[in-house]
Chains A and B, each alone.
Chain A
Amino acid sequence: MIANYGYKDGSGEYYISIDTDKCIDCAAERACLTACPKQMFEIIEDDYDDQVAWIKKPNCRTLSYDCADCKPSSGYTTLPCITACTPGAIKHSW
């Protein structure tokens, strides 16, 4: 399942999407958990009893601020979460 966590507000659309099918047999040893400096990722059991990553609830409402350090206004080329998740499960909408 592609799970989109985040929101749209007056300033833009801020979603992190996770392809949870890739998390089931994570080939990156759950690297998202340690790569994110804000520790926003968490492993949960989904409705089909699979262990998958999601974004912690409080962060889902503050993504644009939480990720600001990784996304300087001068631009960025890589993000720690995306680099660490070698299966390519993580995408950012902004």
Chain B
Amino acid sequence: MSDVLLRVENLRSGYGRIEVLHGISLEVREGELVSIVGANGAGKTTLLLTLSALVRTRAGSTTLDGARLSGLRPHAIVARGLIHVPEGRLILAQMSIEENLQLGAARTPAVQRRAAIDAMYARFPVLGERRALPAGSLSGGEQQMLAIARGLLAKPRLLLLDEPSMGLAPKLVDAIFSIIAEVRASGTAVLLVEQNARKALALADRAYVLERGRITLSGTGGELLHQPAVVEAYLGSHA
């Protein structure tokens, strides 16, 4: 079995008096693509926000490469290589595309930064063509590409993606999924949260099903894709 990169043990968190995650345990190994599927409101976004310390951990622990993340502030977690591309993208709409990427590459030494950003422009030509424009002028799909490009520039050990295909037309959904496949092929571990369970499971090495704040099933992507319970709950409408 290959090395565990991210280990989450008995994680609890929530908002105010409400506990949303009731003891989550999961792991992501080096180079693996792990998907989390679950209904709306199951706690997928809360899980990723808790990993990034934007929501406080109430109990349990998170380690990356064996080093404890719980207790660190968000910027310190980014510095360890846990890079989170959030739900809704959160691109900086008033800043230019170039500046968004500069911010992503902030921890790359200045001499290498230009080349790293230009490499992203080569990979996503739309971004290069509009580099000087405000990021808010991009379409939804382009903004998602910008958010992923910005995340990749931060040199992730593990990339967290929260619903990257949300709100996109089918053609763009395919484009985003092939970008995710490329990221995994380049050796970067990915933890992917998706509404589009069929595509997410098809791409995943392993997957977890999250239901009302608890992990209820786990297995390889292929296994879950054929589990009757999963098919009924999450794949029915796509069949």
A and B are interacting partners: no
Name A's B-contacting residues (CB within 8 A). none
